[in-house]
A and B are shown apart, each in its own frame.
Chain A
Amino acid sequence: MTELVEDVLTIIAEKGRVGRERLVPEARLMELNIASLDVIEIIFALEERFDIEIPFNANDAASGFNTVGDVIGAVERAVASPKAAPSATPSAA
């Protein structure tokens, strides 16, 4: 497990108040009883920890933030992408 994944799981476990052993990639956040406010707390903590912007809209199921693996993937993508202006959706004119 990479250091990044370790950090992500630590943050999910702490902010979502879930045991680390349950945080397998396919585990669904909803089934881990991580409420919507906890999800945005997790995203906030991840953005602070890695100095990244994670595009996420709580209204949009297509944001693809359903599983622990989705969260890890979003962080990996954000860390890999060059730091740009805030995560404005291009259509937000």
Chain B
Amino acid sequence: MSSEVKRDPDGQLPYISGHDLESVSNKIAAVTLRPMREMPKFWYAGLFIGVLLLQLLFYAIYKLIVTGTYIWGLNIPVGWGFAIINFVWWIGIGHAGTLISAILFLFKQDWRTSISRFAEAMTLFAVVCAGLFPLLHVGRPWLVYWLFPYPNTMGMWPQFRSPLLWDVFAVSTYATVSILFWFTGLVPDLATMRARATDVWAKKIYHGMSLGWTGSARHWHRYEIAYLLLAGLSTPLVLSVHSIVSLDFAVSLEPGWHTTIFPPYFVAGAIFAGFAMVLTFMIPVRHIFGMKDLLTERHLNNMCKVMLFSGLIVAYGYMMELFFGWYSGSVFERFMVLNRLLGPYDYTYWLLILCNVLVPQALWSYKVRTNPIAVFIICQFISVGMWLERFVIVIISLHRDFLDSSWAMYAGTRWDWAMYVGTMGLFLTLVFLFIRTLPFIAIFEMRELIHKDEHHDDEHHDDEH
């Protein structure tokens, strides 16, 4: 019985096989605890590129602060350019992490365990990248606390009826709760790292970070309640964050923005983009660090299904936007639709349809879903497509709206691109440092998965006796 591969009741291969509690703990901890010279070249290359691009970000920020936002391609009517596109793009990418760690947890999707830690870390890093854009877009980032309600000499308060103010609360709450969730999940793993570390200082640091976690039954009891509650709190939170981001657009009267479909369509787009980004990193990482037994083809398959589904919702959103434009009977809405399809930026719209609607249809095939290279390529299309989607929404609506005497064209300058590429550098740097310093798969949750399996077997044996 023990020699043949155990299958789940539905006949599928298990998510994790050939591991016991000790081997899984050692395997994941080893990535972090091995000497620096044993880190794969891939890791060095990734970190190098990240740090290089990070310098570009620093320079772009420096340039922006000493000269002002006019170095960006902004004009009137296009007062929202790359900064908003990139903000929405990054924050959307972050949503996959919370979806995987919270929503799939509530739905008891055990396969989430292998990817949750990595996706949660990506959430944090994506929120950091996203946050930079509104911070710098205000022009004088040292006055950014003006966004918050604080007692001031003018005796004034922020405008609580503005979606931009809601955004401040939504994004800052999201960042805080994501950090809390991530850290809470890390604590028992940090205790494992303490146990595995041989270096005295590494042991001390991991011990301190684990807050002296002992694994007491009483602590586990409260821990499990806390984790469940956090998942329950994060679920409505993540849905609210991208809904509120979409309200930045939908609450205005701008043609192409003023639609009720925006909140669900933005949330679906966020999941779509986020899963693409998780897979973009997961596919090389599982290969380089030899994690194919923990991040299996079945994980790819499941994630691709989520991507396909959210992609279809997004495609439905595109269709509805065209329909609303026509059905509204408003001359401005109709013009906006025509301008999207045939105007000066028509190529962005058709590229968007190619990247987000046509290419992902390949995911209907099981062979494509379980082929890492194919999935990786599709994910790149989706990432580009989701950026184009925000370009289409922001730029095409703004550049030609009600008053044709104020129409203008818009293009990002080299500093716009430097900022955007620079945040990718920041993201890469943070991801590769994270892989090196903290366990990128949730060790204790993997142990729990094995523990459940073993426990199930024990009951079976008891029947036999």
Q: Do A and B bind each other?
A: no
Interface residues, chain A, CB within 8 Å of chain B? none
